[in-house]
Chain A
Amino acid sequence: MINWILVIIGEILVAIGAICDLIAAIGINRFPNFFVRLHALTVGTIGGAFVPLIGVALIALGAEFLGFYRFFMAGASVIAAILLLFLAPVGSHAIARAAHRSKAAIVYPKVVDRLEEDREKGVIE
């Protein structure tokens, strides 16, 4: 009985992750500029990779046909999910800061950009 509960919860999490991945893939093609596409990337990171990895761990714990190595699979999945939860936001913030500072991505449909004005006036470095 507990195996069925673990497997069903894990399958629900993997299904949520797959749908988030599809939404992020559509968004990364449809959004107009780099800083808006960053939003689609983070949807695909937390919703599309962290949640299904936890789901894979639960499925591997509940599925007895995988043999003894299912504990290894569950542990490696949880470790990968926690690493991703720490490292992926750091990476996206670093690339966003670098793109804004080096003007590699132009903010095209914009209303106001106070950070760029301050940097031109020399208020901040």
Chain B
Amino acid sequence: MGIEEHVMLFITVIIPIFIVSIILYLIRILKGPTIPDMVIAIDAISYDIAVFLAVLAIYFNSPILISCVIVLMLWAYALDVYVAKYLESREMGE
């Protein structure tokens, strides 16, 4: 078995684990009783989708997908900081 078949078989096995994790995070986003709960669930789902995109970039052999990973990470960090600022002082900061 060559390297290509080995990598493809491994990624095919690993993809359902990521999808199950995304569904479990979605349950917490929909259910979350307070706003910080939803925010940390959205953070976790962003990091999860970023790793999923990086794995899919190898699977589909398309380097375009890998540049979306950095954007997703910075977006999750910006969401954290903005929501923290809003919760502390009730304004978004101008």
Q: Whole-angstrom distance between the alpha carbons of A3 and B25 in the complex?
A: 35
- A77 — which chain B residues lie within 8 A by C-beta? 54, 66, 69
Tell me, in angstroms, the Cα distance from A17 to B44 when the chains sit together. 13
Q: Do residues A56 and B55 form an inter-chain contact, with CB atoms below 8 A?
A: yes
Please report the total number of A residues contacting B with Cβ < 8 Å: 61
A98 touches B87 (CB 8 A): yes
Per DSSP, chain B at the interface is: helix
Q: Is the CB of B51 within 8 A of A21?
A: yes
Option from B24, B35, B57 in Cβ contact (under 8 Å) with A104: B35
Contacts of A26 in B (CB 8 A): 24
Of A18, A80, A91, A106, the residue contacting B77 (CB under 8 A) is A91
Contact pick for B50, options A34, A80, A106, CB 8 Å: A80
- State in angstroms the CA–CA spacing of A106 and B3 once bound together: 52
Contacts of A83 in B (CB 8 A): 70, 73-74
B38 to chain A, nearest CB (A): 10
Contact of A17 among B20, B28, B51, B69 (CB under 8 A): B51
Binding site for A on B (CB under 8 A): 3-4, 6-7, 10, 14, 17-18, 20-22, 24-25, 27-28, 34-37, 39-41, 43-44, 47-48, 50-51, 54-55, 57-58, 61, 63, 66-67, 69-70, 73-74, 76-77, 80-81, 83-85, 87-88
